[in-house]
Amino acid sequence: MIKLKNVVAVVTLSALSFFACKPDDPEVSLIPERDRVEQQVVDNDSLIDYFQTHYYNSSVFETPGDHTIDEIVITELPQDDNGNYLPLPDPDENTLLIDAVDTFTRTFEETEYEFYILNLNQGDGEYSPNFTDNIRLIYSGNLMDEVVFDSSVNPNLPFDLTGLIEGWRNVIPRFNTASDFIVNEDGTVDYSGYGLGVMFIPSGLAYYATPPFGVPVYSNLIFKFELYAAEANDHDNDGVLSHLEDLNGNESVNDDDTDDDSVPNFFDPDDDGDGVLTINEDIDNDGDPTNDDTDGDGIPNYLDEDSTESNQDS
């Protein structure tokens, strides 16, 4: 469910609507998407209100150890008979979210978004995932009314961050993986020192106007997660790790297309379209095509269709 919207399903539904219409049927009008800037204001106000009226059991996480997402309890403040919120109960045991979450910003679809993280354990491992990595974790996702709409409890099932909603690619790289693991006789793996947190994502970094079944349009989402492991991806096996194919540095690999062939570099085995596969432009055979610049023009061969080596090999 945290995967991007199902394009095939959307196309299929559109096709069914088209063929179901008869010449005499009334004209069908589509509701346009809301303005992203305006919706972000609404989403952010909703999140801030949530943080001011909800608290978590912070004292539990003051005790060292590997805590779990099941231990994270977020509760709405009590109210009086008139619906007014009462003070935080047991301040020594609980903390308002507004006093605990960290705020981050991300520009996406020409809109500046704010998203929030409750960091309960950074993760004791040395590796922090890239936004294009495969990750291993468990999670639980819910709406702001606490309805759980998705979860995964299988840490052996890797998720490719490039196929997940935008918010995940912004949050997960801010944590570290586990520091240690043990493989049990039954093949299961026990991790220790893993990253533990909660992400609060505005709808613009989630499903926005095209959510999956069970998620209303323009829904802010909340995910609790335990981050165990990650490994760097090379989606096109060209010798250049996918996160390094983000040439414009905007933390997206879908808009980097050196040869303008409508295939982004991270999926394109010949990034510069010179007829020489990127993997074969690793002239010094060190496994890294990014440091080979035969004609010395400051552009590595795999991105330079005019490189001397490429011309010789074409």
User: How far is residue 34's CA from residue 292's CA, in Å, rounded to a whole number?
Assistant: 46
In terms of phi and psi (left: phi > 0; alpha: psi -120 to 50; beta: otherwise), the region of 269 is alpha
pLDDT higher than 60, residue 22: no
Q: What are phi and psi of 52, to 5 degrees?
A: -80, -15
- The H or E element spanning position 215 is none
pLDDT computed for residue 111 by the predictor: 98
Q: Mean pLDDT throughout 11-35?
A: 52
pLDDT in tens, 87-106: 999 999 999 999 999 999 99
pLDDT computed for residue 308 by the predictor: 57
- What CATH number was assigned to the domain covering residues 7-231? 3.10.50.40
- Tell which residue, 245, 289, 297, has the closest CA to residue 267: 245
CB 241 within 8 A of CB 130: yes
Q: What percent of the chain is modeled with pLDDT above 90?
A: 83
The domain segmentation of the chain, as residue ranges, is: 7-231, 238-314
Residue that wins the pLDDT comparison between 22 and 288: 288
Dihedral sign for Cα 216, 219, 224, 230, please: positive
CB 131 within 8 A of CB 166: no
Strands laid side by side in the 74-76 sheet? 74-76, 54-56, 95-96
CB 144 within 8 A of CB 54: no
Cα angle, residue 102 at apex, residues 174 and 217 outer, rounded to 5°: 85
Beta strand segments in the chain, E: 54-56, 74-76, 95-96, 102-108, 111-121, 134-142, 148-152, 159-160, 180-183, 189-192, 195-201, 221-231
How many other C-beta atoms are found inside a 10 Å radius of the C-beta of residue 232?
A: 14
Residue that wins the pLDDT comparison between 305 and 235: 235
**DSSP structure string for 4-36:** PP-HHHHHHHHHHHHHH--TTSPPP-PPPPPPH
pLDDT higher than 70, residue 174: yes
pLDDT higher than 60, residue 175: yes
pLDDT in tens, 40-92: 999 999 999 999 999 999 999 999 999 999 999 999 999 999 999 999 999 99
pLDDT computed for residue 115 by the predictor: 98
